Amino acid sequence: MNRAFFLVLPNVHMLDLAGPLQIITTLAELGISSLEIHCIGPQTDVRAFQQVMLGQLSSLPEKLDADDVVFVIGSKLDNELMSSRAWFDTAAWLKNQVLGQKNPPCVAGICTGTFLLGQAGLLDGRLCTTHHQFMQQLRRLHPAAQVVDNRICVQDGKLWTSAGVASGIDLALQLIAQFFGDHVAIQVARENVVHFRRFSNDPELAVKFRYRAHGNQLVHTMQDEISNNLSRAWTCEALARKSGFSSRHLARIFKAETGITMKRYQMELRMDLARRLITGSTLTLERIAERCGFSSMQAFRSNWNKCENVPPSQMRHASRQPEME
């Protein structure tokens, strides 16, 4: 991620803007990245739907790069906005920056910002979502789009869209995970005291994110230790020595906050990594077992058989089958 642009139109919803903007600016605040951040729009000054004036917006840049991200922020949809010159000029700018480009930027529609992507022709044949109250309107206006219900955010290549309001925070965290790594997304989420969420139709959260919906910093620290050192056979006693608490106390609060034991947490992390290496690499099973921290191939296969219905070779083969048209 080189530059992040936040595209703002009149009647913008403040949380649609503030949520992802806060998450992205945290990267610089924590010293993780010095990426450029710009709030842009077809007008220098706009009034938000919440009656707050936003000023000194930068103009729409002439050229975007492949490493740029454009957050298209949602506004209160009405006929006046969707028939305005600002609406059509901005849609034309988006279309010019993305369609037909060999290396287009990443574009993320926040809430009703998805409608501007549709106006620009970016949704045709693409998976997308928006606020639940506007699903049918999106389908009606853009019948070529593949609108998905009950999702926090949807990725289709370099096109991202999110559901209503606060889901812009979730989308920004997912982008950070993709660009900077899971550990950075976890760090940013903790700094902003937010949790990774999913709706019923969303893919299952990665194990690294699944047990983080708590505010206990001691438990977060233990999770970081386990996650960052999977090859180590962590015990309550070993973690207790690092924390200064008793092993019984650590075991109790870990399970109370996460719902599982430390041993189970470590095993789920190992299996999650094993699946990703099997489907996304050419490493041998022996090397994968070693990378994931299993003491032997027998230990790896024993745990695999408890979690999966198919052998690793079959999962690897299935992941490499060509997609159906």
The residue count for the chain: 325
**What pLDDT score does 321 carry?**
54
Residue 8 near residue 41 (C-beta atoms within 8 A): yes
Domains defined for the chain, CATH in brackets = 3-191 (3.40.50.880), 214-325 (1.10.10.60)
**What pLDDT score does 95 carry?**
96
Total-model pTM: 0.81
Low-confidence residues in the chain, pLDDT < 50: 322-325
Between strands 46-47 and 36-40, the pairing is unpaired
**What pLDDT score does 204 carry?**
75
Residue 9 near residue 75 (C-beta atoms within 8 A): yes
Alpha-carbon gap, residue 170 to 195, rounded angstroms = 8
Question: H/E/C letters for each residue in the chain?
Answer: CCEEEEECCCCECHHHHHHHHHHHHHHHHCCCCCCEEEEECCCCCEECCCCCEECCCECCCCCCCCCEEEEECCECCCHHHHCCHHHHHHHHHHHHHHCCCCCCCEEEECCCHHHHHHHCCCCCCCEECCCHHHHHHHHHHCCCCEECCCCCEEEECCEEEECCCCHHHHHHHHHHHHHHCHHHHHHHHHHCCCCCCCCCCCCCCCHHHHCCCCCCHHHHHHHHHHHHCCCCCCCHHHHHHHHCCCHHHHHHHHHHHHCCCHHHHHHHHHHHHHHHHHHHCCCCHHHHHHHCCCCCHHHHHHHHHHHCCCCHHHHHHHHCCCCCC
Contacts of 235 (CB under 8 A, 6+ apart): 247
Alpha-carbon gap, residue 160 to 152, rounded angstroms = 11
- Tokens 């027998």 label which residue? 298
**What pLDDT score does 117 carry?**
97
Alpha-carbon gap, residue 154 to 171, rounded angstroms = 8
Contacts of 239 (CB under 8 A, 6+ apart): 222, 225, 247, 250, 262
pLDDT tens per residue, range 182-238: 899 999 999 998 988 877 777 777 888 888 888 788 888 888 888 888 877 777 788
